[in-house]
Structure 1
């Protein structure tokens, strides 16, 4: 049984008129009548009773009408789904995110994908260091990564989506908590809380910021992640120079202050080089467009070449 025969049958069954069905299908009426006779012969049943004045469905025809409607609707849905996937409008994207980006950037990412690509299912994997994301992209365990440049290893392409200024995190009772804006020079004698990862792009940016002010930051404590780092700062164990997106994580006892002449740290969208998944292309494009205004400024200076990793 051909789909063409089912569509022809459905049109005649709906109109109970061969002439109207032929017009609707843009075929000649004799060709339509012949196709219906072929279908009846293949099924060895009579689907229509025909007189010179009337065409009516037989009981077998009534049953086939319901089944044909279900089958043809399923075929149309399958065709639409295939086309949407091929166009990048439907599918599953496994998205990896660096620590704080899950709080500061994921809401905007999820919102724009839901709005622009409602049939795309985002599966989130958070707290992934840049090297882990790069390995995941190469191993096909994630499709897209939101990470701190630079990428680690070969075979990864990326697109900048955000450049964040560095800010100061201090406890509410710290001497600098009352200042609306703080100069980096004022941190010369402070003890710092920093990430314990040797590949932290945030650490690198903080160290460069201090170097430009003429001193080396003194590390009092090392934290495995952003939540612990901010908790230590709130407890008065030291200060921290971190990306401005930490404001997405309000914490009792913690104060965030702008820093004069502080450096910046980047956030990028990354994918496997040579990937041919149209859904990856579509999602990366809508995410990049969502952050286009933010990436317009500020830009990093030539001295801000990153050699490390992320939160």
Structure 2
């Protein structure tokens, strides 16, 4: 029993006429009749009731026709889905996102990918520090990452999206709240909420270097891995923080953001395994190839 036999059977079932079905299939009438006879022999029961004037499906033929339509539809769907996956237009892409980009940049990236590739499914892990994302890329748990450079892991390729300065996050009512003249040096006696010092956080390294350039080492009152938690502690009045500008997309009551002069900038980049030849990854990178998030980011900030 071949697929072409099933399609020919359905043509006869639809037209209820061997001649018209044969014309539509562009095959000879006798050949079509033999095919249907062979199919009936394979099934083990007549599928058509034949008279000199017409051909009608038997009860078994009607049931068989319904099942054949379902099977062929599922097969056609499977072929279509496989073709889309092979072309990189469908499938699942696992994405990791650093904390400060989870709120401002990620929604724009997702919208642009979905606009270009609507059949692609994105599974997303947010609030991941860069070292954790790099490790997850290396061992195959992630396919794409929005992380901070530099990436101190071999085999990871990346494309910088933009660089942004560190800004000051203050609790509402803080003595520097609303002060347009505040500088990094003014913060030397403050308690800081920071990312953990021992995790290799790119942002934490930039904070330490920014404070060192102003002549002091930040006093770490609290250390947390998630940007949302960091800002929640600032809102609670447990300290101040230096964060990338995209973190200001998190509109948390009780937190005010202030631009500072002479802070270090940090880069946000797309990163992936250099050896990954997935058509899906290639299509997503292509969809984001012309992406300039700077304007959107500035609007959100």
Residue of structure 2 in register with 1:78 after alignment: 78
Q: Is the 8 A contact 1:130 1:148 kept in 2?
A: yes
| Structure 1 residue 68, shift from structure 2 partner | 1.0
Secondary structure class of the residue paired with 1:260: coil
Aligned pairs, how many?
296
Change (3 A) 1:258 1:116: same
Q: What's the counterpart of residue 250 of structure 1? A: 251
Alignment of 1:65 with 2:59, yes or no, is no
Structure 2 residues without counterparts, runs of 5 or longer: none
Listed as ranges, the matches of 1:207-246 within 5 Å are: 207-210=208-211, 214-225=214-225, 226-246=227-247
Q: Deviations over 1:203-244 (max 9, x none)?
A: 2323444555x5344324242232443344345554322101
- Report the CA distance between 1:181 and its aligned residue: 6.8
Partner of 2:271: 270
Please state if 1:158 is matched with 2:158.
yes
Query: TM (normalized to structure 2)?
Result: 0.84
| Compared CA separation, residues 191 and 66, structure 1 to 2 (3 A) | closer
1:74-113 aligned at under 5 Å gives the runs 74-113=74-113
d(CA) in 2 for partners of 1:217 and 1:31?
Answer: 89
Residue 81 (structure 1) shift: 1.2
Contact kept in structure 2, 1:112 and 1:286, CA below 8 Å: yes
Structure 1: segments with no counterpart, 5+ residues: 299-311
- Secondary structure (helix, strand or coil) at the match of 2:135 reads helix
Tell whether the 8 Å contact from 1:193 to 1:221 is kept in structure 2 after alignment. yes
CA contact (8 A) 1:161 1:295 kept: no
* Alpha-carbon spacing, 1:61–1:242, altered in 2? closer, same or farther (3 Å): same
Secondary structure of 1:262's counterpart equals coil
Name 2:175's counterpart in structure 1: 175
Q: d(CA) in 2 for partners of 1:235 and 1:59?
A: 74
Q: Distance in 2 between matches of 1:33 and 1:295?
A: 67
Map 1:268-307 to 2 at 5 A: 268-289=269-290, 291-294=291-294
193 and 26 in structure 1: CA distance in 2 versus 1, 3 angstrom threshold: same
Superposition RMSD in Å: 2.9
Instruction: State yes or no: 1:39 paired with 2:39.
Output: yes
Residues 1:61 and 1:193: Cα distance change in structure 2 (over 3 Å): closer
CA deviation profile, 1:90-142 (whole Å, cap 9, x unmatched): 22222222223222333333333444333333222223222222222222222
TM-score (normalizing by structure 1)? 0.82
- For the residue of structure 2 that corresponds to 1:111, the secondary structure is helix
